[in-house]
Amino acid sequence: MDFPTIIQILDSAVRLMTPLLLACLAGLYSERAGVFDIGLEGKMLMAAFTAASVAYATGSAWLGLCAGIAGSLALSLIHGMSSITFRGNQLISGVAINFLASGLTVLLGQKIFGLGGRTPSLEGAARFNEITLPFADALRPVPVIGPIYADLISGHSVLVYLAFAFVPLTWWVLYRTRFGLRLRAVGENPASVDTAGVSVTRLRYAAVGICGVLCGIAGAYLATGISAGFVKEMSAGRGYIALAALIFAKWRPWSALFATFLFGLLEALANRYPNLDLGIITVPSMFMSALPYILTVIILAGFVGRAIPPRAGGEPYVKER
Amino acid sequence: MASTPGTDTAPAIELRGISKAFGPVQANKGIDLVVPRGTIHGIIGENGAGKSTLMSILYGFYRPDAGEILIGGKPTAITDSQTAIRSGIGMVFQHFKLVQNFTVLENVILGAEDGGLLRPSLSRARGELKRLASEYELQVDPDALVEELSVGHQQRVEILKALYRQADILILDEPTGVLTPAEADHLFRILRGLRDEGKTIILITHKLREIMEITDNVSVMRRGEMVASVKTRETNPTQLAELMVGRKVLLRVDKAPAQPGAPILSVRGLRMVDTAGVERLRGIDLDIHAGEILGIAGVSGNGQTQLLEILGGYPEKGARLEGTVTLNGQPLPLTGSDARARRQAGVGHVPEDRQVEGLIMDFAAWENVAFGYHDAPEFQNGLLMDNAAIRADAAGKMQRFDVRPPNPELAAKNFSGGNQQKIVVAREVERNPDLLLIGQPTRGVDIGAIEFIHKRIVELRDAGKAVLLVSVELDEITALSDRIAVMFDGRIMGERLPDQATVADLGCLMAGVDPATTAPEDAITPATAPGLDEGVR
């Protein structure tokens, strides 16, 4: 494997990890506040659909992004209502949201565009195109650093940079601000927040809202960044992979970056080497594409160390004496 | 004490006619309370007397149905915890409200941050904690994680939280329940220091010793009412115990003199240290004979619950136990949770809290009547349960115990308290156990059901069975028992015969005072418990 190939694989990994990273951080906010969210998948899918539709109709990727965020937020609101206000079961609500998004996107897509659930292909300003960072071309000839800057760091859509910026931002919010302190507290022991005179409900809605925004960006990136339009079930389990990455990362922002990078890398490798020839045997392509999912299962089965979730996660808060 | 609004002489807290009902249960009835500034005020009462409800109202957890709250002489509507905090009230809950994986500092500033960013709040809190630590013996490492602290230190964090919020009035709910004696002593030193600095402290407890030791004034609650408010030095434990338990209309139970036979249950040197390191039982010796009711009197929380749980076969997990228990001459294993084996050995158990331990509230009455005995051979039909047989059996038992409505299909939660209790008693008594453990048999039960349940207990005794009755109702104990043992602080203070015991006599024993020696029972120190350490972490 030569240097340019490595750069290409890493470059591909960065693209592929971006929706995972956004969804993982989305889940991080929600679960740190004590609201489990397996509806990341559905929210991403809904966002992909609304983003692609509006981007197609208006020709603006940015308006598409707004629509994606709005679509995802709407589902977040449903999840918030059922799990915070009405103290319902958060897992069931999440599953319902996934089903809802899966059915609704195809139904609306067929009704509006008549392409069997797809949206028409997006072109030009309707997509987030790759941006070239300054001096990329000038630096390219420099050995090692040149290709890393020009081919790996430069040349992604703006949403990729946004996603990476969210990692330090999330860390800072979580550990350096009042909001972050309260957010973490409400996921560990909501009674402590309540007795301190702070509204548990408002905090949890805020967290679920942030989760919706980040899932919206992730979905918009799927439909208007990586791809050129919406295809049915295009989230392809990324919401669940993001959840696995979140557990792997033990609900910490920087670890989330590395966890999602690992998944992105596996996917990139599978794309690059559909039939990995190890000399004695050739690994079939199905196995290679299944790698991220296999890793998900391994992580969820608890083979990678003990991950302690936020203590009040999954439980609606009921005031007690 | 008259209140003069707006002046420094106004009491820290004044409550006027506070009432609060939860459904049909009147938790607080027209409560009046005056707490002068700079005093330690004890509020004492049995479990369920309404103390915690009253304090939750004061902290804004509940809105009272009626009544008025005056803080420093000013009428204040406490709508939520934020208002309470702003009025200078701080609360230390029985179950701490701390975030386990936060540092002490983070817990202290939570909800009382100075601004959007944490850094300034943290450094201010660090300085403030240092000051409070030196001033009031409240030393805690500000950077330690709460989960690594002992219970006593966690409690200090709760007090620090309140003081950091400038609390002038500190409410502590059962603060010593989880503390070792040494930690409790330290807490009392802290509280005295706070009082001397002009803070007002309300101490909720059911432990008479603490009231006598530390409070300036004491108010007694019983069944949702404030029955007395007195100066601590003008009262004594006996009087308080009587006030707490109350004298009610004497219940009459017609029963023939007991014909005690061979001992059924023998307990020797039973000791128990719970997982928090508190010694709950300090060497219990007792015998119960066939055809005899042994009544255990005492203020709740003096080890009765633990005794019942151990005898019933489900001691607290992780608790350390010592001593011997024999049933019909056969030793019973102390550790290992096996309530089923106990039932098979002939021990029936009516637990103290029927809704938590005695019934599954959402299940039908017929299922509840079978619980614990559902694997009896007559209920089996090959591999399956013979539900028809269980239903028929339940219907018969419910009829014989006059459960109303006599409908086995109804969920347990749909019966009144008295009928729920009859379901539990029917289940246990109809199995004809050699030994019946029965805790608070008539708590929250109407008078008709009380008589009925009492009659059944006496019938069981007359059939030559042994009964261990635990009740906080002194009248129930004296009416039913053939012998009375009084428990205090994990030990049996003394035994009396019901026709020879006076209420004052029993009240003394319940307060930990042995009238025979007339010396206050101050000698209860951990040093009298060799072999069991205090569970220091």
**Amino acid B152: pLDDT:** 87
Say yes or no: B24 and B115 in one domain: yes
Chain B hits for A191, Cβ within 8 Å: 97
In this structure, the answer to whether residues B158 and B48 fall within a common structural domain is: yes
Looking at the domain assignment, is residue B197 inside a domain?
Answer: yes
Of B494 and A300, the one with more pLDDT = B494
Provide, as residue numbers in chain A, all residues whose Cβ is less than 8 Å from the Cβ of B111.
182, 193, 196-198
Return the minimum-mean-pLDDT range out of A185-199, B6-20, B273-287.
B6-20
For B131, the enclosing helix (H) or strand (E) is helix B118-136
B314: CB partners within 8 A, 6+ apart: B337, B338, B339
- Specify the residue for token string 């300034």: B120
User: Residue B25 domain-assigned?
Assistant: yes
Classify residue B7: in a domain, yes or no.
no
Helix (H, G, I), strand (E, B) or coil at A317: coil
Close Cβ partners of B522 (under 8 Å, ≥ 6 residues apart): none
Domain boundary among B194, B218, B245: B245
ipTM score assigned to the predicted complex: 0.89
- Distance (Å, rounded) from C-alpha A204 to C-alpha A202? 5
Core vs surface per residue B55-83: b (16+ CB within 10 A) or e: bbbbbbbbebeebebbbbbeebebeebeb
In this prediction, residue B180 carries a pLDDT of 72
Element (H, E) at A187: helix A178-188
Work out the angle at residue B197's Cα, subtended by the Cα atoms of residues B195 and B203, and round it to the nearest 5 degrees. 20
Give dist(CA B163, CA B337) in Å, integer: 43
* Pair B313, B387 in one domain: no
Q: Beta partners for B487? A: B492
Is some CB atom of chain B closer than 8 A to the CB atom of A318?
no
Q: Both B278 and B137 in a single domain?
A: no
Closest-CA residue of B relative to A192 is: B97
Residues B263 and B240 in one domain: no
Q: How confident is the model at residue B143 (pLDDT cuts 50, 70, 90)?
A: very high
The answer to whether A275 faces chain B, any CB pair under 8 Å, is no
Compare CB distances from B100 to A178, A182, A311 and report the shortest one's residue.
Answer: A311
The chain A residue lying nearest B53, using CA atoms, is A321
Residue B204 lies inside a defined structural domain of this protein: yes
Q: How many residues does chain A have?
A: 321
Gap between the Cα atoms of A167 and A22, Å rounded: 9
Binned at pLDDT 50, 70 and 90, residue A147 comes out as confident
Same domain for B437 and B427, yes or no, is: no
**Rounded alpha-carbon distances, angstroms, from residue A63 to A163, A217, A238:** 18, 12, 24
Statement to judge: residues B18 and B146 lie in one domain: yes
A185 lies within 8 A of chain B by CB: yes
Of the ranges A184-198, A276-290, B196-210, B513-527, the best mean pLDDT one: A184-198
Facing residue for A192 by CB, picked from B99, B117, B118: B99
pLDDT over 90 (residue B299): no
Q: Select from B110, B147, B174, B204 the residue whose CB has the most chain A CBs within 10 Å, as the one to mutate to test that interface.
A: B110
Is the preceding omega at residue B405 within 30 degrees of 0, hence cis?
A: yes
Distance of CA B283 to the CA centre of its chain: 20
Q: Cα–Cα distance between B193 and B136 in angstroms, integer?
A: 6
Structural domain of B362: 356-431
Cα distance from B354 to chain A (closest Cα, Å)? 20
Domain count, chain B: 3
Instruction: Looking at the complex, report in whole angstroms how far the Cα of residue B107 sits from the nearest Cα belonging to chain A.
Output: 8
Question: pLDDT tens across A228-273, in order?
Answer: 999 999 999 999 999 999 998 999 999 999 999 999 999 998 888 8
* Distant-in-sequence contacts of B233-237, Cβ < 8 A, 24+ apart: B236/B212, B236/B511, B237/B208, B237/B209, B237/B212, B237/B508, B237/B511, B237/B512, B237/B513, B237/B520
pLDDT at B251: 57
Handedness of CA B255, B289, B394, B471 (dihedral sign): positive
- B458-471 exposure pattern, b = at least 16 Cβ within 10 A, e = fewer: bebbeebbbbbbbb
**Adjacent-strand bridge partners of B436:** B348, B467
Boundary of a domain, candidates B195, B214, B245: B245
Higher-scoring residue by pLDDT: B277, A75: A75
pLDDT at res. A159: 95
Can you give the CATH number for the domain in which B479 is found?
Answer: 3.40.50.300
CB B59 within 8 A of CB B165: no
Chain A residues with CB under 8 Å of B59 CB are 195
- B108 to chain A: closest CA residue: A196
Instruction: Please indicate if any CB of chain B lies within 8 Å of the CB of A279.
Output: no
Q: Answer yes or no: are the C-beta atoms of B496 and B506 closer than 8 Å.
A: yes
Q: Is residue B351 part of a domain?
A: no
Q: Could you give the 3-state DSSP secondary structure of residue B14?
A: strand
Q: Which residues in chain B have their CB less than 8 angstroms from residue A182's CB?
A: 110-111
Give me the pLDDT at residue B47, please.
65
Tell me whether residues A185 and B116 touch, CB distance under 8 A.
Answer: no
Asked if A195 is an interface residue toward chain B (Cβ–Cβ < 8 A), one would say yes
Chain B: residues touching A (Cβ < 8 Å): 52-53, 56, 59, 61, 80-82, 84-85, 91, 93, 97-102, 106-107, 109-113, 115-119, 121, 161
How high is the pLDDT of residue B160?
Answer: 94
Give yes or no: residues B336 and B473 share one domain: yes
Structural tokens at position B414: 């749909």
Most confident region among A44-53, A189-198, B166-175, B209-218 by mean pLDDT: A44-53
The number of helix segments (H) and strand segments (E) in chain B equals 16, 24
B242 vs B156, residue with greater confidence: B156
Q: Which residues in chain A have Cβ-Cβ distances shorter than 8 Å to B85?
A: 196-197
User: How far apart, in Å, are the Cα atoms of B439 and each of B300, B350, B425, B443, B471?
Assistant: 11, 6, 11, 9, 6
Chain B CA closest to residue A197: B82
Q: Mean pLDDT, chain A, as a whole number?
A: 91
Yes or no, beta carbons of B97 and A182 under 8 Å apart: no
pLDDT score for B6: 43
Q: Tell me how many degrees the CA angle A101-A103-A108 measures, rounded to the nearest 5.
A: 90
- CA distance linking residue A83 with residue B283, whole number of Å: 49
Q: Residue B404: CB partners within 8 Å, gap ≥ 6?
A: B419
In angstroms, the CA B112 to CA B109 distance is: 5
Q: What is the residue-wise DSSP string for B132-156?
A: HHHHHT----TTSBGGGS-HHHHHH
Q: Are residues B74 and B86 in the same domain?
A: yes
Q: Please count the other Cβ atoms lying within 10 Å of the Cβ belonging to residue B32.
A: 14
One domain for residues B366 and B258: no
pLDDT-based confidence at residue B525 (cuts at 50, 70, 90): very low
pLDDT of residue B532: 38
Please provide the DSSP assignment of B259-286 as one string. Answer: ---SEEEEEEEEEEE-TTS-EEEEEEEE
Tell me the H-state helices in B283-413: 304-312, 339-344, 365-370, 387-400
Residues 6+ apart with CB under 8 A from B121: A178, B109, B112, B113, B114, B115
Cα torsion through B332, B336, B341, B345, rounded to 10: 10
Stretch B419-439: mean pLDDT: 93
| B411 close to B361: Cβ distance less than 8 angstroms | yes
Q: Is position B1 within any domain?
A: no
End-to-end CA distance of chain B: 45
Q: Please indicate whether, in this complex, the C-beta atoms of B99 and A185 are within 8 angstroms of each other.
A: yes
| Domain boundary residue, one of B385, B410, B431 | B431
Whether residues B265 and B410 fall in one domain: no
pLDDT surpassing 90 at residue A23: yes
Q: How far apart are CA B290 and CA B295, in angstroms?
A: 14
Separation CA B278–CA B303 (nearest Å) = 11
How confident is the model over B21-78, as pLDDT tens digits? 887 678 899 999 999 999 999 998 876 678 888 988 999 888 899 999 999 999 999 9
User: What is the pTM for the complete model shown?
Assistant: 0.76
Verify that B485 and B395 share a domain, yes or no.
no
Q: Which chain A residues contact residue B110 at CB under 8 A? A: 181-182, 185, 192-193, 196, 198
Asked if the Cβ–Cβ distance from A321 to B82 is below 8 Å, we say no
Average pLDDT score over residue span A188-202: 93
Q: Does B107 contact A192 at a Cβ distance shorter than 8 Å?
A: yes
Query: Would residue B83 count as lying in a domain?
Result: yes
* Least trusted range by pLDDT, from A42-56, B248-262, B359-373: B248-262
Could you tell me the two tokens for B531? Answer: 């072999």
What is the rounded distance in angstroms from the CA atom of residue A153 to the CA atom of residue B373? 70
Say yes or no to pLDDT of A222 above 90: yes
**Mapping DSSP to helix (H, G, I), strand (E, B) and coil, where does residue B435 land?**
strand
Residue B5 lies in a domain: no
Q: What is the mean pLDDT of chain B?
A: 86
With an 8 Å Cβ cutoff, is A196 touching chain B? Answer: yes
Flag if A179 and B116 touch (Cβ within 8 Å).
yes
- Which among A46, A48, A114, A107 has a CA at the least distance from the CA of A74? A46
Interchain CB distance below 8 Å, A189 and B110: no
Q: CB–CB of B18/B54 below 8 Å?
A: yes
